[in-house]
Structure 1
Amino acid sequence: MNARAFLVRGLLAGLLAGLAAFFVGYQVGEPHVEAAIALEEAGAADSHSHGEEPEAHSPAADEAGDEEVFKVSRETQRTWGLLTGSLTIGLAWGGLVALVAAGTLGRIGRFLPGQSTAVISLIGFVSVALVPFLKYPATPPAVGSGDTIGDRTALYFGFLLLSVASAVLATYLACRLRERIGTYGGVVAGIAAYLLVVIVAALVFAPVSELGDFPADTLWSFRLSSMLTLATMWGVLGVVLTGLVSRLYARETALAHRRELAASL
């Protein structure tokens, strides 16, 4: 079993995960995106109806407005755009998880290749998707100021990198302690160390609260659908990749046994 075999199976698993995420996102998430956009447009129309004057245009803005601007329709965004994004992310994460699983094979306990792949997938979901989402959950289009998007993006990716780094170190700590205090103690110590770091980081990192008077039920539905989409992608990725790696290991093990038997005759 080499890295290339893992990578090919990771890309296949990522492709299927991207398709599944697209289906869930389109069926579950897009209706709430449409509701948020409708609220945003209604708010803009209401501000105009109250007699607010439009902003003055500078000569530079007028010159820029004369240039042709390429705009993607909402229909394209919610169909082909969503599909392209889902497949791209699925392939990227599938290949990355597969390479990490190949690199850690035999280094995280006495797991079989399929078992270690499942562990890597679970750690990836928790550190990359779940924990950062709990600190900085997804927000619909009508929420948040354009002036703070850079700061909000930096906070999210900063917390994401910290979460991933903490998960890597916690896994290393668990493997080292396993030799001294056993598997149960090592796993508990690793989980406790990871939770300690991310909880302290969650308290230190600046909060983001720009909800205003956005309806709570719409916000909750949007965030729930976003989490379901993430869970679907990582769940399909982990299950499919684990199954493919397990089948590969079983086939190579059977082939090795047949060769040993043939050599002994």
Structure 2
Amino acid sequence: MPLSEATEPRTAVGALTGSLKTLLIRGLLAGLIAGLLAATVGYFVGEPKIDAAIAIEEAAGGGHTHGEAAEPAAAGAPAEEEEAEVSRPGQKAGQFLALGLAGMAFGALFACAANVARRHTTLSGPRLALGLAAGGWLAIVAVPFFKYPANPPAVGDPETINDRTWLWVAVVLLGFAAVGLAVYAYRLLNGQLDTVRLIGATAVFVLVTAIGYILLPGIDEVKADFPPSLLWQFRVASLAETATLWAALGLAFAALTEFAARGVREPAAVAA
């Protein structure tokens, strides 16, 4: 058997092949799947915690129903107009649309990152997809979460929302810097034992993250009377939802990559 015939299937399986357009379509589909799975986790795991937090917020605000206007202060006094709010059932159903679209957006960015990364690595397509998903989760979810964890309704001062938003952006940039420098350290140690390279990359990641955590200000707006167990459960649910998104994105992209490689390999085998 000629050498080209023997190595062609291996190349098809090992490489992340296809044009950028192909990768984008693959990323959009994987992102849609990931977003819907994350929304399912959010619906069954996160929404009950949000309902409980809203009940606490309403009780503290005088028992008004969430999303309804307050009663007039005196007979004949005009009620203050409030902007129409989406009902809780609408919010619960709407997260499938929102996370589906968000997943597709992440999938498109994921495909662009894979298109660049495949030129600088020998990892197979599935392994590259899983590695990118792990890096994305670390940068966008893990590093921000452990500095500024998610808070449920009734937690946080509305007047500080802009400051908290910019701090979240800063910690996401920190996450990208930590992951990027860790990958650079891993590549810099090329030729060393794999364990040495992993230890070096991990040390760089931890060091950069720790420095960033020290420099960024802390935020603690949790009220003293807010139930600690509910706060912990909400944050775990939030982490589970985002972890599902990134794990499903990486696995779906990897699976679609293998399916595509198998489709290329089978015609080659028939031709041989």
TM-score by length of 1: 0.84
Instruction: Give the Å deviation of 1:232.
Output: 1.0
Q: Which of 91, 101, 105 does residue 92 from structure 1 map onto?
A: 105
Instruction: Give the Å deviation of 1:253.
Output: 4.3
Distance, in Å, in 2 between the alignment partners of 1:129 and 1:115 is 20
Alignment pair present for 1:41 and 2:53: no
Instruction: Give the Å deviation of 1:182.
Output: 4.0
Instruction: Give the Å deviation of 1:83.
Output: 1.5
What is the aligned partner in structure 2 of residue 78 from structure 1? 92
Whichever structure has more helix as a proportion of its residues is 1
Q: Which of 110, 113, 117 does residue 104 from structure 1 map onto?
A: 117
What is the aligned partner in structure 1 of residue 32 from structure 2? 15
Q: Is the 8 A contact 1:3 1:103 kept in 2?
A: no
Q: Which of 164, 167, 173 does residue 152 from structure 1 map onto?
A: 164
Alignment pair present for 1:207 and 2:221: no
What is the aligned partner in structure 2 of residue 53 from structure 1? none
Instruction: Give the Å deviation of 1:188.
Output: 2.2
Matches within 5 A, 1:81-230: 82-108=95-121, 110-179=122-191, 181-212=192-223, 213-230=225-242
User: What stretches of structure 2 of length at least 5 have no aligned partner?
Assistant: 1-17, 64-72
Distance, in Å, in 2 between the alignment partners of 1:129 and 1:83 is 19
Output the amino acid matched with 2:241: T
Q: Is the 8 A contact 2:143 2:171 kept in 1?
A: no
Output the amino acid matched with 1:127: A
Instruction: Give the Å deviation of 1:255.
Output: 4.4
Distance, in Å, in 1 between the alignment partners of 2:194 and 2:125 is 18
Q: Is the 8 A contact 1:101 1:120 kept in 2?
A: yes
Output the amino acid matched with 1:107: H
Output the amino acid matched with 1:75: P
Distance, in Å, in 1 between the alignment partners of 2:213 and 2:264 is 45
SS of residue paired to 1:137: coil
What is the aligned partner in structure 1 of residue 252 from structure 2? 240
Instruction: Count the aligned residue pairs.
Output: 242
Distance, in Å, in 2 between the alignment partners of 1:250 and 1:182 is 33
Distance, in Å, in 2 between the alignment partners of 1:26 and 1:135 is 25
Output the amino acid matched with 1:93: F
Output the amino acid matched with 2:54: I
Distance, in Å, in 1 between the alignment partners of 2:129 and 2:61 is 49
Output the amino acid matched with 2:215: V
Instruction: Give the Å deviation of 1:70.
Output: 3.7
SS of residue paired to 1:178: coil
Alignment pair present for 1:30 and 2:47: yes
Instruction: Give the Å deviation of 1:106.
Output: 4.3
What is the aligned partner in structure 2 of residue 52 from structure 1? none
Change (3 A) 1:159 1:32: same
TM-score by length of 2: 0.82
Alignment pair present for 1:69 and 2:69: no
Q: Is the 8 A contact 2:56 2:154 kept in 1?
A: yes
